[in-house]
Amino acid sequence: MKTIKYLFPILCLVLSLTSCSTDDDDNNIEINPVADLMMVKSITANNHTIEIYGKDNQFTLGYNEFSVRVKNNATDSYFENPTISWVPVMHMTAMSHSCPRSALAISEFSTVAKGFIIFQMPGNDTEYWELTLTYEIDGTSYEAVERISVVAPADSMTRVSSFMGADDSRYVLAMVKPENPDVMVNDFTAALYKMENMMTFTPVADYMVGVDPRMPGMGNHSSPNNEDLTYNAATQMYDGKLSLTMTGYWKVNLILYNADGAVLKGEEVTETNTESSLYFDFEF
């Protein structure tokens, strides 16, 4: 009971700070579930508006987290607990293909579903991405299809790699964290998917990714206390540590090993070999 005594003043403070957003005098605090996000796309279909939000206002090459909600245009309110699925497809001149993505799952807010998509290539003048959203509300299934623009990041650095492994399988490796690298030992997370066919990508378990960050502009020096990326079954991603000892341009050289320890892609950095063919890079 003691904690209530301490929580109460905090609750009062929170209420007083947010009370301007509600004009009735009950204690319901209206929280905007997409307050910290930017709208990426709004699609009108079936008398609904499907809103896609992200940390940026665009679909960017690489790993993107999205929040999706569906508005009933007739009532101007958002549907609760909609079942939503998505299929991104890139229409290229010679063929069409999809990309790695998670399912969309209802978040802590009943009107918002969250998930991620990893775009492995941007669109261009003649080749484009199309997003198909299928959603179910009160037992009725609806579909919305929209052409979307997927662009390379403003800094044109590499945060995703699509490549053929030594096992003749195609993989997509994307940097998930750090979002904002800093001078420290950063938590490092990457997602690895195998391309089963043009439309199916599955998360790969129990591989390993060797991590060797270098500063090519400064004698290609490395950094201490890095940790290779190992599989995390809970997230189906790979976690490690990325040590950045100063600001500037870093190339994170990577080597992908399969579960037997065989190299599938990438080379060790040595005196004579300054970089791996598998890498992420960025400048901060």
Report the interface residues with Cu ion, using CB under 5 A: 90, 92, 121
Nearest approach in angstroms of CB 121 to Cu ion is 4
Nearest approach in angstroms of CB 90 to Cu ion is 4
Task: Return the number of the residue (77 or 96) whose C-beta is nearest Cu ion.
Answer: 96
- Count of CB atoms within 10 A of residue 51's CB? 19
DSSP the chain: -HHHHHHHHHHHHHHHHHGGG--SSSSPPPP-TTTT-EEEEEEEETTEEEEEEESSSSEESEEEEEEEEEEETTTTEEPSS-EEEEEEEEE-SS-EE---B---EE-SSTT-EEEEEEESS---SS-EEEEEEEEEETTEEEEEEEEE-EE--TT----EEEEE-TTS-EEEEEEEE-SS--SEEEEEEEEEEEE-SSS-EEEPPS-EEEEEEEBGGGTTB--SS-EEEEEETTTTEEEEEEEE-SSSEEEEEEEEE-TTS-EEE-----SS----SSEEEEE-
* 233 contacts: CB under 8 Å, gap ≥ 6: 205
Nearest approach in angstroms of CB 64 to Cu ion is 16
Instruction: Kindly give the pairing relationship between strand 62-72 and strand 113-119.
Output: antiparallel
Task: Return the number of the residue (122 or 181) whose C-beta is nearest Cu ion.
Answer: 122
Nearest approach in angstroms of CB 144 to Cu ion is 22
Report the length, in residues, of the chain.
284
Task: Return the number of the residue (121 or 215) whose C-beta is nearest Cu ion.
Answer: 121
Task: Return the number of the residue (54 or 88) whose C-beta is nearest Cu ion.
Answer: 88
- Please give the residue whose beta carbon sits closest to Cu ion in the complex: 90
Nearest approach in angstroms of CB 129 to Cu ion is 8
CA angle, 126 then 130 then 133, to 5°? 175
Nearest approach in angstroms of CB 244 to Cu ion is 32
Task: Return the number of the residue (34 or 121) whose C-beta is nearest Cu ion.
Answer: 121
Nearest approach in angstroms of CB 69 to Cu ion is 28
Task: Return the number of the residue (92 or 185) whose C-beta is nearest Cu ion.
Answer: 92
Task: Return the number of the residue (99 or 211) whose C-beta is nearest Cu ion.
Answer: 99
Closest by CA position to 118, among listed 136, 98, 139: 98
Nearest approach in angstroms of CB 96 to Cu ion is 8
Task: Return the number of the residue (1 or 95) whose C-beta is nearest Cu ion.
Answer: 95
